[in-house]
Amino acid sequence: MPIALLKFVVFMLSLLPLAYYGWGAWHDTLGANPIEAVTRGMGTWTLNFLLITLAVTPLRKLTGWHAALRLRRMLGLFSFFYAVLHLTSYLWFDQFFDWGEIARDIIERPFITVGMAAFVLLVPLAATSTNWAIRRLGGRRWQALHRTVYAIGILAVLHYSWLVKADQSQPLLYGGILAVLLGLRAWWREVERRDQLAGKYQPKIRNRIIPIQPSD
């Protein structure tokens, strides 16, 4: 499949959750508490896209399917897109823009504190997702900045876990997947470090030392 078509298909698929909740809200099929269903749904899909985005690199390494990398920016931006909807739904339908209450929530409710922190950390990543920003920052700095996505993933899972009343099975599932995705990276880094220590990456030197002969 040509990459442009693949991107288009993934783009349309990524809008399906929004379509589902939009249709459900309009036709009142989201149950007794539709507002909660929308807020939760947007949160769930933020987390889903975050994990899908984090799965791109391991998937590429394990399968050799390099085209996946070309989808990563869009997937990451969809995570941000659903995060914006999730946050909006909280600010609007839960708090009705009562900024005093919102500030108190952020300070006093740890699950909101970490959720908000995760969102705040997402903003610079979304803002620097253009080619222009990559060039402007330089690859190394851009990459360093975008590594905060690991912390965002941890904060997002904590946010979910601290909100749940008793049944931790869903947060644990997300936490488990995140642990695998981050663990693979840590493992690969460690392998690389050991290889480096073992001299695997040192340039091969083949008797190219020119002996200095003392001249009389």
Partner 1 sequence: MNNAPAPSEITPPELYARRREFLKTSIGIGLASAVLPAPTFATPAKLGDGAKKSPFSTSEAQTPLKHVTGYSNFYEFGTQKEDPAQHAHKLKTRPWSVTIEGLVKKPVTLDIESILKLAPLEERIYRLRCVEGWSMVIPWLGFPLDILLKQVEPLGSAKYVEFLTAVQPETMPGVRSRVLDWPYVEGLRLDEARHPLTLLVLGLYGDILPNENGAPLRIAVPWKYGFKSAKSITTIRFVEDEPRSSWMKAAPREYGFYSNVNPDVPHPRWSQAKERRIGEFMKRDTVLFNGYGDQVASLYSGMDLKKHF
Amino acid at 78: F
| Number of other CB atoms surrounding residue 190 within 10 Å | 10
- Could you say which of 10, 134, 137, 163 contacts partner 1 (CB under 8 A)? 163
Q: If binding is defined by CB under 8 A, does position 73 make contact with partner 1?
A: no
Residues 8-27 that bind partner 1 (CB under 8 A): none
Q: Measured in whole angstroms, how far is the alpha carbon of residue 66 from the centre of its chain?
A: 19
Cβ proximity of 56 and 62 under 8 Å: no
Amino acid at 11: F
Applying CB under 8 A, the span of 31-39, 53-61, 80-88, 127-135 interacting with partner 1 comes to 31-39
- Could you say which of 1, 167, 201, 202 contacts partner 1 (CB under 8 A)? 167
Q: If binding is defined by CB under 8 A, does position 162 make contact with partner 1?
A: yes
Give the C-alpha distances (Å, rounded to integers) separating 62 from 53, 68, 179. 15, 12, 17
Cβ proximity of 58 and 181 under 8 Å: yes
Q: If binding is defined by CB under 8 A, does position 86 make contact with partner 1?
A: no
For the bound state, the minimum distance from the C-beta of residue 41 to partner 1, rounded and expressed in Å, comes to 13
**Site residues (CB under 8 A) for partner 1?**
31-33, 35-36, 93-94, 96, 101, 104-105, 108-111, 162-163, 165-167, 169
